[in-house]
Amino acid sequence: MPQLRLGSRGSPLALVQAHQVRDRLVASGMLADEVTISVFKTTGDRIQDRPLSEVGGKGLFTKELEEALQAGHIDAAVHSMKDVATKLPDGLTIAAMLEREDVRDAFISLAFAGLMDLPRGACFGTSSLRRQAQLLRLRPDLRIVAFRGNVQTRLGKLADGVAQATLLAAAGLKRLDMAARITEIVETEVLLPAAAQGAIGIEIRAGDTQTAEKIAVLDHQPTHICVVAERTFLGVLDGSCRTPIAALAVLAEGRVMFRGEVISPDGTRHVGVVREASTQAAKSMGFDAGLEILQRAGADLLGVRR
């Protein structure tokens, strides 16, 4: 009889992450047959012919997992935190986050050494509005084409010549043991990552103290503090896949250093913010940084309905 039923998407990366959670639980003292993994096909996995920004944005990769949680079919759902909506369904909570992987984006090309080496008018594949906006801010000459699918699918499209280059999260490639495919790591000073990029979260039913106690050992507090700051910032801005927003919080000498930005989809307008706070004030710092962006950027840039 399993003591802990985990839920996961069926993509190769999602399964690697779910097994990483399972392996750490076993290492902490649970028996291997006490932790099971159930696989779900989410709405985001089924829709491959359109950008997510056109069909509902964030939440499309978590909806079926969260419904299974609410129905009691699983005890915990394993998510890439950047896929999780800032407002969770009633009765659910993020109870733990694993130590964060590399937060940076990875540039991948079969012909060019780096982003700035691409020729004028090069075709760049991405389905991320955040990456599109940042790329066009740096390289307005680039031609952006839609690039949906899991890591393997997008690498296949690159090999087929659909685009000359793409960006993927370095964390995912490293977890899949595919770091050798990275042409260039793009530093965060060049491309600020998506909020919560590189973080794995575990969602449970609020009030489920038994599950909370079992997964508590997995929670990495520095990661949790930083990701909460980023997601709070995102939530203030009504952040979704329809708005190009980036954010990164890092711990340095006991302080939380934060940078956030919003960019117009064509890259022509940009508003950024830099903040610093104690670990105890990280969430309120993210909130205040979001308010500052709201005041300076305006509803039209953010796509916020007033």
Q: Which residues are catalytic?
A: 83
CB contact burial 126-152 (16+ within 10 A = b; e otherwise) = bbbbbbbbbbbbebeebebebbbebbe
Contact 237, 304 (CB under 8 A): yes
**DSSP, res 100:** P
Pairing of strands 76-80, 4-9: parallel
| Residue 2 contacts residue 75 (beta carbons within 8 Å) | no
Half-sphere exposure of residue 201: CA atoms within 13 angstroms, side-chain side = 28
Positive/negative CA dihedral, 282, 216, 105, 299: negative
CA distances from 163 to 45, 143, 172, 260, 300 (A): 22, 9, 20, 29, 31
